[in-house]
Structure 1
Amino acid sequence: MPAFRGRRGWCGCLQDDEPPEICVVEGVFSLQTLTPTQPMPAIDELDSKFAELVEELDLTAPNKAAMMSLPPQKKWQIYCSRKSPLDSGPNGTPLQTVPPSPEHYIERLKDMAVQLKACAPDESPTHEYGPKIESQTALFDALKTALRTSAHSFVIRFIELQGLPALLELLQVLDIRVANSPLHTSLIGCIKALMNNSTGRSHVLAHPTGIDTIARSLAADNIKTKIAALEILGAVCLVPGGHKKVLTAMLNYQEYAAERARFQGIVNDLDRSTGAYRDDVNLKTAIMSFINAVLNYGPGQENLEFRLHLRYEFLMLGIQPVIDKLRKHENETLNRHLDFFEMVRNEDEKELARKFDHEHVDTKSASAMFDLIRRKLSHSPAYPHLLSLLQHMLLLPPPTTGPNAQHWLLFDRVVQQLVLQHEERPASDCLDPDAPGVDKRSETGSVASASLKLQDPDVTPLSIDVRKIVKLLVKEEELVAARTRAEDLERENSEITARLAKKEQDLDHRTQEKEDLETSLARMRERLEKESANHSQAVQRALNAEMRAEDLQHRFVSEQQERLRLERLVTEGSIPDDQKVAGLQGANCNGQATSPPPPPPAPCKLPPPPPPPMMMPAAPPPPPAPGGMPKLAPAGPQAPAAPKAPEAPKKNVPQPANPLKSFNWSKLPDSKLQGTVWSELDDTKWYNSIELESIDKLFSAYQKNGVANDGSIEDLRLIGKNKAKILSVIDGRRAQNCTILLSKLKMTDEEISKAILSMDSNEQLPIDMVEQLLKFTPSAEERALLDEHSEDIDSLARADRFLYEISKIPHYEQRLRSLHYKKRFQVTVNDLAPRIASVMEASREVARSRKLRKLLELVLALGNYMNRGARGNASGFRLASLNRLADTKSSAAKGTTLLHYLVQIIEKKFKDILTLEEDLPHVKEASKVSLGEMDKDITMLRAGLAEVNREIEFHRSSGASQPGDRFLPVMREFHAQASVRFAELEDQFQDMKTRFDRAVRLFGEDGSVVQPEEFFGIFDGFLSALMEAKQDNENFRRRQEEEEKRAKQEAELKKRTIERKTKEGLLNSVAGKLGLKSKHTNGTNCGPVTTADANNKGEFDDLISALRTGDVFGEDMAKFKRSRKTRLGPNGTNNTSPPRSRNSVGREDSRERTGVPNRRQ
């Protein structure tokens, strides 16, 4: 492929780039001198007429300027040649009639479009429509000729009158009668003629659907039409911005023609070999030229992946077998396009293989590299030079210490310089070595100019002072050694600095650990003292209880002995029986009066709280008298019983026919009725006035279960006989929600009760379900109502049966709350622990980070430098000011802020600060922590733990429990573990608050006001802004480098373009426009060229012609062939593969050109 020609392509007809590298005719044109037959007018009149002529020629701006700078005689000569009498007859009459105006053509285009739209194809047969097509074809052929040969003003007028949209509209409405006729070909020819003009070409390319309409002409069966459309599309691919339009047009054509792929129709036409397609090589050549243009221009000019992708589309459509079949035509032009397609494909595949290290060269093995060089240079003109180089190396002195050791370094440097000269070639070396004026003995421009001055090449092969260079190499070696030593010292210094920083970091860690241990030790000492005091008090209480127990035991023994003595007296004495009994009763009374109280409870156990009145256990019966004696009545008087309130008389309330829903009221106890208005009311007298049957019907407790019942109570009774009654005594909405919850649990009432009694030992109840169950705790009124229907439990609704079942569990609500707390405890602790740790670690990090302190010093220095007055001379600043660095914008550089400048300073002189984020890894997480939420969670855990402890004490004091009740063993174990874990968590929370307050005060902030999310959020936001500013600086530098590189390339391109636009080339262009005679430099006359012929050969036609013949790919094919020769080994095998990129191909070609003189010498 050609070398890189710039992003906008290479086509010279676009006026803003270098001219096309197409040489259709070799040699130099020269104007034939014509003698003017009329006298030259005044200079002003001449300039005015000549300016009109130049405008008619449609020249580029540089050519216009060059034409206007010609001498007056030259201008008059050119003007006379253009306005010569050759255009008139003998009597001054024109040789040909004046062509119609643009208005005439545009009107005919629009008329025909209207006729085609109005007339359906089946209304006018093709044989009747034939004469009309022939007449219109002649008209459009005349338009094509006018667009090619008329003045530039004709084209401008045609475009201004919307001639291009009229052409495209007519192309769009062509039907089957004319789509395959010569009329279609003439219309495409008109567009091609229009594109030969720069103004017309720009309007065609700028038209939103122009290229799409041209591409749709590929659907016609007319071969000439296909060829014309393909040539236009192929040439547009070479125009800057045209490649994308062509690919878009092919996608539009795929949808228009209903094809599977966008290039399917093109490949099918390439493969067709029947009928008119059998021997038509021109269409196949046009298709192959279009395919090569699509593949190798636009993005494919530089992008290997794009070429591979686009070529894969053609290969999937089966183009390779078609190419093999096309070889049978043995057409030189077609074969040229086929060869180029295959050459580029092979090169791309080799370059792709090189990307995957298909060929490996061991650069550490001298023998392997030498063998590769030997195979590469065998049978080439460079091989004798390789032998000479090796022979002279053998003659060198031994490489001992001293100047001889530097000779090998000199060899290395010379070869490196030669390689660099090949890599960075001067502009003069890019010329063709066969072109005149180029010294074929020169290898590079600089070497060629030096070689001309050499007197004896056998003595001084290079114009250099070897001794001087050796001395310089020695000095350079010393400099390199000193630089290496400096680098080693700098590396050692960096290592020492890193070790010192690590030691300082370890010291900070140890100091922090010491402070933590001291805090923990103080807390443990305080806890130990508290526990010791409690233990001493417990021991003292135990001693007192033991002494009291001994005293009671002694009294009990003495009383027992006295009782035995009295019993013995009663049985053995001679006193009367009445006196014996009286004495025995007196003894019993004395014994009971002095009987010891029950022993106190253990000192370590606190008395349980009194149970609620409903759950108060009954007092146990008194123990029987010792010795099996019957119980005696106590001698002392008994305490009088409390007066009982008089019971209210039972009212005569009628019984409902069926159970009714309950009215949820709060009933006053009978003891509070006296003295109130309720004692004066009598509700029984109203029952005769109330329609009780309506109440039975409206408020029946039975659920209908979807059965409509609009009848009487008897109907409801009949339904009750045939269907089981469902009774519900609780609120309907509450029952419905409870039923939904039970359906989600998928457990029976008995299983739920067992799970609650066992404190969910089998983990059957999720925490969210336990939380929902708390909402359905039966109230006292609901318990009373459910107890009233305990005999009809089977007839109760699902929710009622559940509430009745759980109402039998003692302390159900407290038990369920304890279970919910048990399940929630670990979740809350696991959520709190990482948040506490993140704040604690972040507080440590910001307090001990030396990079952060250095950064704050740097910001403080910048602020004091920039601020004056009250804002200046600061010793510190609020941390929130860090995030306001981006608010100070530069007045000289757009988009640059003080933060960007700070990053630039850090990157230049304080690179270690760039890793500040590594010193603060926990800041981001700490910025999300809310201290208020953590306080709430800690308080909730503390309150819940106390509530669990109270519930444990209640169950321990309540005595016997239900079967399966595991509350005490489960919750005792949980309470013991949770107490320890909560104590640890609470200590960590207190340490966190202390450390956070210390870190906040370290930066001059108020710890009672600033929260962790605000404090650490400042650092997190600043670190993010710092990294964004760093990325912005990198992007700015990258854009600046790209712009500088682009400006340099454009300057070089402009320089080459100006050098190539010589005066001789300008005259050739003028000669082509004026239709003057020209001759080659060899003196052979090319004959006269008429004006029509010159204009017919326009710029766009030149491009199409070069694409058709393959000349546009000729240089690439030559490069591929030459590079193939250098890659072939002795047996014709491929030893190496040069890169496929444009620049690398150019460099390989340059190396081969420098080797040409060696073969000719």
Structure 2
Amino acid sequence: MCFSGPMPIPIITDQNNRYFEPIYLSGNSMNLPPDKARLLRQYDNEKKWDLICDQERFQVKNPPHTYIQKLRGYLDPKVTRKKFRRRVHESTKVLRELEISLRTNHIGWVREFLNDENRGLDILVEYLSFAQCAVMLDFEGLENGDDFSLDKAKSWSRSIEDLHQNGCNTLVRSARQSVLRYGSAANSKTIKNSRLVSQKDDVHVCIMCLRAIMNYQYGFNLVMSHAHAVNEIALSLNNKNPRTKALVLELLAAVCLVRGGHEIILSAFDNFKEVCKEKHRFEKLMEYFRSEDGNIDFMVACMQFINIVVHSVEDMNFRVHLQYEFTKLGLDDFLEKSKHTESDKLSVQIQAYLDNVFDVGGLLEDAETKNVALEKVEELEEHLSHVTEKLLDVENETMMKVADLEKQLLHKDKELATIKETYESTSSQVHTLRRMIQEKDAAFQRHNNIEKQLLELEQQGTIRLRKQPDGDIAIEALGGGGLVGGASLGDLGLLTASMSGSGGLRVTTPAPIEAVAPPPPPPPPAPPLPSEGTESENSQENQLSIRIKKPIKTKFRLPVFNWTALKPNQINGTVFNEIDDERVLEELDLEKFEELFKTKAQGPVVDLSCSKSKVSHKVVNKVQLLDANRSKNLAITLRKANKTTEEICKAIQTFDLKALPVDFVECLMRFLPTEAESKLLRQYERERRPLDQLAEEDRFMLLFSKIERLTQRMSIITFVGNFNDNVNMLTPQLNAIIAASASVKSSPKLKKILEIILALGNYMNSSKRGSVYGFKLQSLDLLLDTKSTDRKMTLLHYIALVVKEKYPELATFYNELHFVDKAAAVSLENVLLDVKELGKGMDLVRRECSLHDHAVLKGFLQTSDTHLDKLQKDGKTAEAFNNVVLYFGESPKTTPPSVFFPVFVRFIKAYKEAVEGNEQRKKQEEAMREKLLAQEAKQRDPKKRQQQQELIAELRRRQAKDHRPVYEGKDGTIEDIITGGFSSVPYIGKDPGMKSLISCHHCCM
């Protein structure tokens, strides 16, 4: 190659603009991919001119045909030994120059070398075959003499010809090399000349030339499609030079990783087995592997090739088959001896192979274990189904017990209310009697005191006592002197006044008496009897007794919580009368709450629309008399009973449910004869037509219509047959409502949750709407609509956070709300209607039994009456659900169980999701915090950051190692695989979970 000095850029005109066209052609000459060629075209003219100058300064030293002519000269058998010796001395130099040209020249030169005119690949493969033949002859024992070598060469040549003639196997490419042996028997001159070739590095350099050709996509495809190229490369393993053998194995391993290359490599080793008379494939390779224990590079390349050729296939059966081939050749034993080698490279490759190995015995054992595990899983699933059924039974029993206890509690509450009323009445009477006794005692004491005072006054001469004819005692005041002891006439007046109430005293005075005390005031009137007018007064008093809540002043403007508030006169007797939301506000961190929910805009008004129930109208299909379809359907129904018409009619008359299943009777209810049908059948009978001429359905209808009170009998049979099922269906529904009502009303944790919600809602709304004393339960659904300033948290999320931080004992409040999900699916109105219908059905049975003495109906009444009474009592008890609705400030008329309980179901579900959302948000915040700390640490410590980057790069390299791609035969692929693909990192085979079972016959080949 020669270079010239730089040239100045010419002035660009329309005439010389074509001078820049070679820059576009250089994209093809340099074999650039399309994206690089487009980038090349975007360069400015100055940059293009520099590339043009570089392209023109670069000149190829020799054209391709020069090397081809020299190689053909080496292969000419007519050349004299002296001339051949002179040429052979320069063959290695020529091959090295050819390898450099193939590796460094542009793609155009390589294409010219490989085109149909020069056929450089054929010549190169022929020379490799010639050189390898010489090496083999010398390797097999030229020291034994030329005659022996000549016989060896002839036998080898004949064996190749035989393979060429008999090579019908498409997978074995052994026949393709026969042309390379010239098709003629080796002569003594060739054997002598081969000694000169065997002492050179021509085989090694030929392999390097082929490697350079295969590095281009065009050359790779030619080598892969060549009849003998890969076979000759594989046969080059028969070489004394370990470096050459390592180079061959590296190239073959790279080809294995290219799509479609693995099959070609195995075919080449099949050819190797035939040519080298191996008993087993890879026998020579293992022989070299064991013998070259002193050359670490060859052993590393050999171990690497074995690892790739065995474990680069996806089919598990085939992979185990290849693995077993090397196991038979003693690879496992040799690796066991060599795994403690001092060479780290070899140790890594050995360990990589052992990591990729499939333990077939272990897999079979795992398969058996899996089968046992699957059987165990099946048993556990069956056991789980039984346990689930038992759990449902236990749950139903528990719900029934809870309902029974709730009914007992309600009964006891009624008794307690009666006792309280009796106690209050009795207490009032006792209090009245005690007051009367006290008054009598006080009057008697006063009477005694007065008598004492009168006696004292008489003794003092102030008064005179004399008995009147009518029995009264007259008191006469004596005049003339003052009363003794400071007593005055006023005192005497008081004494006489106090005794006048008791009778028997009469006072007479001789002179006017001054300062007589007035009589005592009359006692207060009795309290009025309760009336309707007092209720409004009491409600006003209750309303006045409610403490007016003060407005709350917030630091920031908060969004409005659009709840439905209860009026102050509506909270009496509800749960909100028992909670104190102002106390909760004292316990919470309201500054944080304001920071989260402060806003400048009003929150969106939630439009709550009540769903309207749709009434489904059943369309009754009218059937014509004795219609063909009706007769056909009746025939199908009668065939289900598998009984005669007489047997069916008799069973209906005797209410025999053992003879007639309930399902059949229900189907038969659809075929009750209409009036027109009965008229038609009676007319047929009046005409005395023979019944035998009637069809079976018509005959059945005739006898069927003659049954007395047919409709009532069929209804009774249906009722009796379905009674137990109806009771079993309605009882759990009533129990669910009773138990759920009790759990909701008696839950202290739910009461505390409502208290927190009321406190936060008042805190948000107080400045705009004022504080309220309670809210409708439907307001719980709006907790998700009120969001924080950043729209990332709802009010329910904040409540869940407050519960976790301040009231952890409330976190599982929903565990106290039993059976609310079951009660939410119950329509109490429909259940009560069904209970009422059962009562009507039982009355019908009683009337029938009173008219006609039926043993079946009597037995039914004896066993079922108690069940119906209990169900009716449960229905009345379930109506106590109204008390629970009133307790939560709702109206029983507008809030049935199907509306009341789903509120709690939705709230519980939303609360759990809010708790989970808070946990996820906390994890994200922690991850973000760790990321920020890591970034700060990186900025503070550059050395640590570099170490982390190196660690990340190492992890990525390991991840890439675990997910090796399937290479395509593109430009640079072979070189990338050899130099960068596995030169430093061992191959890790694909492992699809090792779940597929391995066929045993592959393991025994």
What TM-score, normalized by structure 2, do the two folds share?
A: 0.42
Instruction: Name which structure has the greater RCO, CA cutoff 8 Å, separation 6+.
Output: 1
Taking structure 1 as the reference length, the TM-score comes to 0.37
